[in-house]
């Protein structure tokens, strides 16, 4: 039993070391749309615009009901992650986001950085509206206009000091992208995000999107505009390859061409189109 436990620990360490290396080679180039290359047709409805990991939510763009993640769980009850302090036991988040968060915190712990705390996660509309009424527009956003209403965002703090100075904040700023997270409101981008610098607010967008955003110092607003302009990208991250396509959705349904048996993810931008990410 002891040998098996040591074997599992070894596998975990190898996985985390691999994650540490994926930032050695991030590059991309523009592709042509694969209408001739691929034959499998995926019919995408207009409703897809408003859901997925890349939806834009800000003070001008409200999340729709279908944009809220369907896998919201209580972190305390599910013990995911099991090595972070929770400011209260009602903290919730998308299960998928929580699992990626757990991998990220495990990686930081291997580097001796282990004083993380979650101070805020998913909020439903009633909680958000109450916060807005109590704190006002300088601190909070109305219900539906906060990323916390999606299940994709959380506020991560340190039990040592403020995140702007804490080892936890510095490590996340450099490494969170490897696990699909971005610092949503960075310093110097206030005119774009409409939100003051928040070194604690992290948003899940998934790979390879977080890698491209880190490489280019993009906010989510800038990245979605970039994809809309480029329309198609081939992305290499270490040994992994991705194809990313932006499709405007104007009709009730739109045909999108994919490889047969493709491994792909679909996300709307919450405005006018969808992004298809194919893993090669």
Kindly report the CA angle at 84 between 79 and 89, in degrees rounded to 5?
60
Q: What is the pLDDT of residues 240-279, one digit of tens each?
A: 999 999 999 999 999 999 988 889 999 999 999 999 999 9
pTM of this structure: 0.90
134 in active site: no
DSSP secondary structure, 122-163, as one string: ---HHHHHHHHHHH-TTT---TTSSGGGTTSEEEEEESSS-T
Phi and psi at 29, nearest 5°, equal -150, 160
Domain of residue 51, CATH code: 3.30.1380.10
Cα separation, 263 vs 243, whole angstroms: 11
Question: 26 burial class (0-12, 13-18, 19+ CB within 10 angstroms)?
Answer: middle
Q: Can you give the residue range of the structural domain that contains 138?
A: 2-279
Q: What is the pLDDT of residues 196-232, one digit of tens each?
A: 999 999 999 999 999 999 999 999 999 999 999 999 9
Q: Tally the domains of the chain.
A: 1
Which of the residues 198, 215, 222, 265 is marked catalytic?
198
């Amino acid at each position: 039993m002891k040998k098996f436990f040591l074997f599992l620990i070894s596998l975990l360490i190898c996985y985390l070391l691999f994650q540490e290396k994926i930032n050695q080679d991030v590059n991309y180039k523009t592709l042509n749309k694969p209408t001739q290359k691929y034959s499998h047709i995926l019919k995408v409805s207009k409703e897809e615009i408003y859901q997925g990991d890349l939806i834009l939510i800000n003070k001008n763009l409200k999340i729709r009901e279908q944009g809220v993640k369907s896998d919201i769980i209580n972190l305390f009850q599910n013990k995911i992650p099991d090595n972070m302090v929770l400011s209260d036991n009602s903290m919730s988040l998308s299960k998928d986001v929580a699992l990626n968060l757990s991998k990220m915190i495990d990686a930081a712990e291997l580097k001796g950085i282990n004083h993380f705390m979650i101070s805020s996660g998913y909020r439903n509309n009633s909680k958000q509206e109450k916060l807005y009424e109590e704190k006002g527009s300088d601190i909070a956003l109305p219900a539906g206009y906060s990323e916390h209403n999606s299940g994709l965002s959380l506020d991560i703090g340190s039990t040592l000091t403020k995140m702007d100075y804490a080892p936890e904040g510095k490590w996340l700023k450099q490494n969170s992208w490897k696990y699909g997270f971005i610092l949503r409101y960075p310093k110097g981008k206030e005119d774009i995000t409409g939100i003051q610098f928040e070194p604690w607010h992290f948003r899940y967008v998934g790979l390879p999107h977080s890698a491209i955003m880190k490489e280019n110092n993009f906010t989510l607003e800038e990245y979605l505009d970039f994809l809309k302009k480029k329309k198609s990208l081939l992305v290499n991250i270490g040994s992994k390859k991705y194809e990313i396509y932006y499709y405007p959705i104007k009709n009730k349904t739109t045909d999108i061409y994919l490889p047969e048996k493709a491994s792909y993810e679909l996300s709307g931008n919450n405005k006018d189109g969808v992004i298809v990410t194919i893993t090669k």
